[in-house]
Structure 1
Amino acid sequence: MKIAIEAQRIFRANKHGMDFVALESIRQLQKIDKENEYYIFVSPGPDRCLEESANVHIIELNCPTYPLWEQLALPAAVHKLQPHLLHCTSNTAPLRCPVPLVLTLHDIIFLESRQSASKSLYQEMGWHYRRLVLPRILSKCSKIITVSQFECQRIRTALHLPEQQITAVYNGYNTHFTPQKADSSICRKYIDTEDFLFFLGNTDPKKNAARVLKAYSMYLQRSTRKQSLLIADLKEEYIDKLLANMHIEEIKPYLRFPGYIPNKDLAALYNGAFAFLYPSMRESFGIPILEAMACGTPVITGNTSAMPEIAGDGALLVDPYMVEEIAEKILLLENDADLYQQQVSYGLQRVKLFSWEATAHSLLHIYREVAMKEYR
């Protein structure tokens, strides 16, 4: 087979969830499949994180905007190549695709009601673009992939899809996330204390930053240890606004907020952290849950959407709307050494159920299924 994969943003410097899923999936396909030819369509960028091999070819397409790249440059290149299928990895695809289409639809959060507008024009335009494109390409998809059984059922029901059109393929986690002695040279770049909690959030309301900060203020009132809180992906002015709105400005000296943290440094920070806070209101999967668990770090995560499915029954699950529960779980870990060690051991066992290699094998099975159906 000639398999084309859209991975438009994997060469950008500041990668996020969907970019890593595409990148790690392609890397594993490159390892396990030496028979088929792969053509990876990307936009030029500074981080050339994928190398070509005998049967994996990188095709760079220049275009000024993402919509033009996806709707004009990509289908033109695919038409010229004539692969057996095109796999688009990030929720949208060309409205006119000249070959069978496989779509990874990570979630349909952008189709659901939202609490507020996006914090940037780029995010707002992306939200409108996805809402415009997705309904128009569904009928053209030979197969739709999503990342959890929760999301699979939600998408199937909301979009009225035939059961056989959509399937769940779990994400994995990078194997450099392992238990190790915390690298102080890396940790010190982001936080000046060895005793800290770690929260990976952003301005998306679903990440629950406001309630995490409120819960942390309650924790500080009751803890004798008073560990600092390292916050990734949030700028100081945004944090200041949240603190002022909740009248908890007094906790700011305990907060550290370095902004974006490169993936290569996350393993050291997970290992250095006492616990990882991930009480989101809505996740279609939650790769950071696995990353932290793989490092032997207890995780406090939400009891909604796909998080219980990924974290499992033995995880510390909280109602993300109840700040008291979040604070209580932090204090419980702090005051119960046996529970803490149980959570360390549980997480290390739980992550054995997930791997990028398993993801790649599932994708390869889908590619073969689509190609056989379309070309027999």
Structure 2
Amino acid sequence: MRIGIEAQRIFRKKKHGMDIVAVQMIKELQKIDRVNEYFIFVNPDVDTATISESENFKIIPLKKSPYPIWEQKHLSEAVKTYRLDLLHCTGNTAPINTSVPLVLTLHDIIYLEKTDVRSGSWYQRLGNLYRKWNVPKVVRNSDAIFTVSEFEKKVIDKYFKFEKEKVKVIYNGVAQHFQPHSITAITDKIKDYGLPKKYLLFLGNTAPKKNLKGVLLALKKLDQKGKLNMDIVMPDFGENELNALLASIDAKSIRNKIHLTGYIPNQDLPYVYSGAEMFLYPSLRESFGLPILEAMACGCPVITSNTSSMPEIAGDAAVLVDPFNPEAICEAIENLLQDQVLRSSLISKGYARVPLFSFEQGAKTILDTYSKIHDMHK
């Protein structure tokens, strides 16, 4: 087979969830498939060391352009140019018209659940508008759809009401470099980012679903109790956005407790997880929640939400809270800071939880699906 994989964003410097998942999927396919020919279509960018070519895996940079144009024009043309037998789009959207069978990784349909497109950054808003237009069309044209949790599968099935089974769950996994590090290694990396010796960690972005407001309200409550006795590290947040939100909730008093680092590359995150007292991930809505497993793999206890996919991924290896209740988040932080038995238990359970999720197993399922679709279309 000649298989095309859309991996448009994987060479960009600031990679996030879907980009990381696409990279790991490709690497696992490289390990297990030496027979089929693969063409990895990317948007040219700076981080070209993300993946490497091999004998049957070729990286094809298409003309650098905005995502909709890149996907609808250049990717569509590449399907014909490279005489593909199958195209797998990894980031929710796909070309409207393809001349070959289409496999789609649909991480979530959060953007279809809400009509308010005014929240989040301009980049996030425009992306959601494109998805709202594109996804309902391409799911109908897909021969198979992968999603990342049983929760999200139920949401997708309920929304689209497919006549036959079309959606498969392929869990994400954790890259091998996510592991606990020694005190010396952690200390050296902390110095690189100017981090405090003891800190809480919150990893998210300005998207409303990440619940930055709820976390800040919880920290404000903790501060009012006189128990916010360490800094909280928040990578990839802007000073202006943070200050505006703190002002809106009358929480400027905790600004001196918040440490902004800017973007932290994926390769450095294990050190930051390993050095944290705990990881806060009380999102309002997730389709998977990859950072939950990343933190567990690094021996960092986790507080996450009791909603959407997060209980499915965390199991009993995290403290689950109501993300809409800042007081509940505050109490969970306070309890975990004080209860060393709970902390040790969560770390042990986290280590045991991580191996249940595997990119390797996911790649095997993907390859099997490719073969079945190809046989159907012979």
Secondary structure, in 3 states, of the residue corresponding to 2:138? Answer: helix
Question: How far apart are residue 284 of structure 1 and its match?
Answer: 0.2
Q: Does the CA-based 8 Å contact 1:219-1:331 persist in structure 2?
A: yes
The reply to whether residue 343 of structure 1 matches residue 346 of structure 2 is yes
Q: Point out the more displaced range, 278-287 or 260-269.
A: 260-269
Instruction: State the TM-score, normalizing by the size of structure 1.
Output: 0.96
Q: Does the CA-based 8 Å contact 2:124-2:207 persist in structure 1?
A: no
Q: Does the CA-based 8 Å contact 1:145-1:166 persist in structure 2?
A: yes
The reply to whether residue 123 of structure 1 matches residue 124 of structure 2 is yes
Identity, in percent, stands at 47
State the AA in 1 paired with 2:256.
P
The reply to whether residue 18 of structure 1 matches residue 32 of structure 2 is no
Q: Does the CA-based 8 Å contact 1:223-1:331 persist in structure 2?
A: no
State the AA in 2 paired with 1:87.
H
1:319 to 322, 340, 362: 322
Question: How far apart are residue 103 of structure 1 and its match?
Answer: 0.4
Distance 2:174 2:253 in 1: 37
The reply to whether residue 93 of structure 1 matches residue 88 of structure 2 is no
Secondary structure, in 3 states, of the residue corresponding to 1:87? Answer: strand
Distance 2:338 2:130 in 1: 48
The reply to whether residue 279 of structure 1 matches residue 264 of structure 2 is no
State the AA in 1 paired with 2:171.
Y
Distance 1:256 1:246 in 2: 19
Secondary structure, in 3 states, of the residue corresponding to 2:261? Answer: strand
Structure-2 residue corresponding to 1:74? 75
The reply to whether residue 263 of structure 1 matches residue 266 of structure 2 is yes
Question: How far apart are residue 223 of structure 1 and its match?
Answer: 5.4
Question: How far apart are residue 292 of structure 1 and its match?
Answer: 0.1
1:115–1:342: structure 2 CA closer, same or farther, 3 Å change rule? farther
Structure-2 residue corresponding to 1:241? 244
Question: How far apart are residue 70 of structure 1 and its match?
Answer: 0.6
Structure-2 residue corresponding to 1:162? 163
Distance 1:359 1:145 in 2: 10
Question: How far apart are residue 75 of structure 1 and its match?
Answer: 1.2
How do residues 108-119 of structure 1 correspond to structure 2 at under 5 angstroms? 108-113=109-114, 117-119=118-120
Secondary structure, in 3 states, of the residue corresponding to 1:188? Answer: helix
Distance 2:197 2:163 in 1: 52
Q: Does the CA-based 8 Å contact 2:227-2:334 persist in structure 1?
A: no
Instruction: State the TM-score, normalizing by the size of structure 2.
Output: 0.96
Equivalent residue pairs, number:
375
1:337–1:109: structure 2 CA closer, same or farther, 3 Å change rule? same
Q: Point out the more displaced range, 31-40 or 280-289.
A: 31-40
Q: Does the CA-based 8 Å contact 2:6-2:42 persist in structure 1?
A: yes
Distance 2:339 2:122 in 1: 46
**Structure 2: runs of 5+ lacking an equivalent:** none
How do residues 1-376 of structure 1 correspond to structure 2 at under 5 angstroms? 1-48=1-48, 49-113=50-114, 117-182=118-183, 183-222=186-225, 224=227, 226-375=229-378
State the AA in 1 paired with 2:34.
K
State the AA in 2 paired with 1:16.
H
1:47–1:314: structure 2 CA closer, same or farther, 3 Å change rule? closer
Secondary structure, in 3 states, of the residue corresponding to 2:94? Answer: coil
- Superposed CA deviations along residues 337-367 of structure 1, whole A, max 9, x for unmatched, are 1111000101000001012111211211111
Distance 2:116 2:329 in 1: 22
- Superposed CA deviations along residues 169-214 of structure 1, whole A, max 9, x for unmatched, are 1011111111112422221333441110000021100000011011
State the AA in 2 paired with 1:28.
E
Distance 1:119 1:281 in 2: 14
State the AA in 2 paired with 1:75.
S
1:125–1:148: structure 2 CA closer, same or farther, 3 Å change rule? same
Question: How far apart are residue 116 of structure 1 and its match?
Answer: 5.7
Q: Does the CA-based 8 Å contact 1:198-1:229 persist in structure 2?
A: yes
State the AA in 1 paired with 2:111.
F
Q: Does the CA-based 8 Å contact 1:191-1:230 persist in structure 2?
A: no
Secondary structure, in 3 states, of the residue corresponding to 2:377? Answer: helix
Distance 1:216 1:121 in 2: 27
Distance 2:312 2:115 in 1: 24
Question: How far apart are residue 138 of structure 1 and its match?
Answer: 1.9
Deviating above 6 A after TM superposition, structure 1's stretches of 4 or more consecutive aligned residues are: none
Distance 2:226 2:356 in 1: 35
**Structure 1: runs of 5+ lacking an equivalent:** none
- Superposed CA deviations along residues 254-311 of structure 1, whole A, max 9, x for unmatched, are 1101222111111100000000000000000011000000001000001100000000
- Superposed CA deviations along residues 113-133 of structure 1, whole A, max 9, x for unmatched, are 155614443322221111111
State the AA in 2 paired with 1:144.
I
RMSD of aligned C-alpha atoms?
1.4
Q: Does the CA-based 8 Å contact 1:63-1:73 persist in structure 2?
A: no
Q: Does the CA-based 8 Å contact 2:120-2:208 persist in structure 1?
A: no
